[in-house]
């Protein structure tokens, strides 16, 4: 899901648009779309890890 979110961010889509295109594939919420806040958190954590290296 992260790879797809990064791809969509490169296309300059909004967080709402990215969240609408993603689907949770595992866990209790399988088959649902993540919230824009979840997408923002996921992308922020990825950015912090890549910049920190």
- pLDDT of 11 reads 97
Q: Which residue has the tokens 């791809």?
A: 7
Among residues 22, 1, 26, which one has the least CA distance to residue 13? Answer: 22
Q: What is the DSSP string of 6-39?
A: HHHHHTT--HHHHHHH----SSTTTTSPPPHHHH
Q: Are 8 and 17 in contact (CB under 8 A)?
A: yes
- pLDDT of 51 reads 86
Strands (E), the chain: none
1-53 pLDDT per residue, tens? 999 999 999 999 999 999 999 999 999 999 999 999 999 999 999 999 998 76
Radius of gyration over every alpha carbon of the chain, rounded to an integer in angstroms: 11
Model confidence, pTM: 0.87
């Amino acid at each position: 899901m992260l790879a797809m979110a990064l791809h969509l961010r490169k296309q300059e889509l909004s967080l709402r648009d990215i969240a609408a295109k993603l689907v949770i594939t595992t866990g209790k919420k399988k088959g649902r779309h993540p919230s824009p806040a979840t997408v923002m958190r996921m992308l922020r954590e990825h950015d912090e890890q890549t910049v920190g290296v």
